[in-house]
């Protein structure tokens, strides 16, 4: 009996761990296919850069950190992302977004993956 409970506990822990890495409400539109660049240094811009570039993809997700977008950009063969936090901060103790701390977690972020010409 104890062995069976331990197996189910391990399975539940694995499911929760795997689910924590998947972002709810994730969407992307890929415009061009490039070779992946695993481990590439992805530049991050908050505004479109002055250099000429091609748009590789647009990505958005609920609760995903900047690092998620950088990894995805590298897997799509991009050089950089134009990263924006949108939707307002979330703080569990706040009644409204205006009560959340400045460094709160934003509800949504978007990134355009770009490839420099």
* First-last CA distance in the chain: 63
Count Cα neighbours of 101 within 13 Å in the Cβ-side half-sphere.
Answer: 6
Domain positions in the chain: 24-116
Strand order in the sheet with 53-62: 27-30, 53-62, 105-116, 80-90, 43-45
Nearest to 111 by CA among 69, 55, 56: 69
pTM above 0.75, yes or no: no
Count of C-beta atoms within a 10 Å radius of residue 105? 13
pLDDT in tens, 25-68: 778 999 999 999 988 899 999 999 999 999 999 998 877 888 99
């Amino acid at each position: 009996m104890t062995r069976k409970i331990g197996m189910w506990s391990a399975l539940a822990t694995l499911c929760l761990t795997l689910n924590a890495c998947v972002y709810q409400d994730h969407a992307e539109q890929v415009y061009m296919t490039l070779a992946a660049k695993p481990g590439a240094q992805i530049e991050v811009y908050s505004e479109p850069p002055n250099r000429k570039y091609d748009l590789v993809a647009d990505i958005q997700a609920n609760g995903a950190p900047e690092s998620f977008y950088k990894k995805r950009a590298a897997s799509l063969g991009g050089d950089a992302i134009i990263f924006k936090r949108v939707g307002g901060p979330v703080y569990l103790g706040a009644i409204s977004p205006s009560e959340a701390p400045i460094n709160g977690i934003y509800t949504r972020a978007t990134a355009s993956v770009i490839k420099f010409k």
